[in-house]
Amino acid sequence: MTKFLIISGSPRPGNTEFILKKIFAAIKSEKELILLRELNINRCKGCLSCDKSKKCVQQDDMQAIYPKARAADVLIIGTPNYFNNVSGLLKDFIDRTVPFFYEGEASALRGKKVFFIVVGGGEVENSQPVVEILQDFAQIHGIKTIGSHCFKAQNANDIAESPEISEEIKKIIKEIKS
C-alpha cells in the first residue's frame, strides 16, 4: 500500500491547509498530515555535522519527520507563495533535509514521488517560480515530481468559498494516484 506524507508549510490555518486537508481526506491509503506551523523546527546552522554523523545534531521536531519522510512513497508538499518563494517554515524544512544526502551514495529520498500545491494572490501564473523552486528541491534529492497545482487565493477563506474546489481536488487526487 502506498504511504503518503502531506506537509503544510503554511504559518496559518488558511487556504493551503484547507486544500491539503481535503486531499488528506480523499486519500484512502496510509497517510499522515504534518502542519509545520505546529512544530518546533530550527533553521539549518550550516555546520555540516551531518556530513560526518549522517544525521542532524539539532534536537527538535525535525527528528520525528526524518523517519516519516524515509518511509513515505509519495510526498505532497503545500506552501503559500511569499514573494515568489516558499514560506519560511517550508524553507527551514527543505534546508533541514541536507542529512538525507549523507546517508549513502544518493539521497535517502531518491525514488520517491512528490506533488506540489502552491497558493498565492494575483494570477495563478505568479506561483510558477515557487513551483520551480520546489522542483529544484525534488531534483536535487532525486524525487520524481508527479505534478503540481497552483491556486489563486488572497484571503484566508478564498479557497473554502470557491465552488470549483471539489472538482480541482478530484483532479489532483487522480494525478497523485496515476
| Beta bridge partners of residue 148, listed in sequence order | 116
Name the least confident of 10-19, 59-68, 99-108: 99-108
Which set of grid coordinates corresponds to residue 21? 486537508
Residue with cell 526524518: 66
pLDDT of amino acid 89: 97
Asked whether the beta carbons of 129 and 89 are under 8 A apart, the reply is no
Residue-wise pLDDT for 37-54, tens only, equals 999 999 999 998 888 888
Mean pLDDT (whole number) for 45-65: 91
> How many CA within 13 A on the CB side of residue 73?
8
Whole-prediction pTM value?
0.94
Q: What angle do CA 61, 120, 153 make, to 5 degrees?
A: 110
Tell me the domains of the chain and their CATH numbers.
Answer: 3-177 (3.40.50.360)
| Beta bridge partners of residue 120, listed in sequence order | 152
Report DSSP state, residue 10.
-
Report DSSP state, residue 124.
G
